[in-house]
């Protein structure tokens, strides 16, 4: 007899982050939450991988800052 289950645990995970796994599309801005500096978002480049040119803080997508 097999002791393997069917994989249906009681976990409540499955979330996909703040944006439910989607993207914000082309365009928009990356914004520094510390000093407010804005730069144009580049397609395929996550804002969180960019450092603010003014203060060096990590940039975030403008849509996330306004939530």
Kindly report, residue by residue over 17-65, the tens digit of the pLDDT.
555 555 677 789 999 999 999 999 999 999 999 999 999 999 999 988 8
Residue 62's pLDDT is 92
Say what the pTM is: 0.61
Q: Using CB atoms within 10 A of its CB, is residue 47 exposed (0-12), middle (13-18) or buried (19+)?
A: buried
The more confidently predicted of residues 40 and 14 is: 40
For residue 26, the model assigns a pLDDT of: 74
For residue 3, what pLDDT is reported? Answer: 63
Say if CB 50 and CB 59 are below 8 A apart: yes
């Amino acid at each position: 007899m097999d002791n393997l289950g069917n994989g249906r645990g009681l976990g409540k995970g499955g979330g996909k982050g703040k944006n439910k796994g989607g993207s914000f599309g082309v365009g928009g801005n990356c914004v520094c939450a510390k000093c407010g500096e804005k730069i144009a978002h580049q397609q395929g480049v996550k804002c969180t991988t960019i450092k603010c040119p003014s203060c060096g803080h990590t940039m975030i997508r403008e849509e996330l800052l306004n939530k």
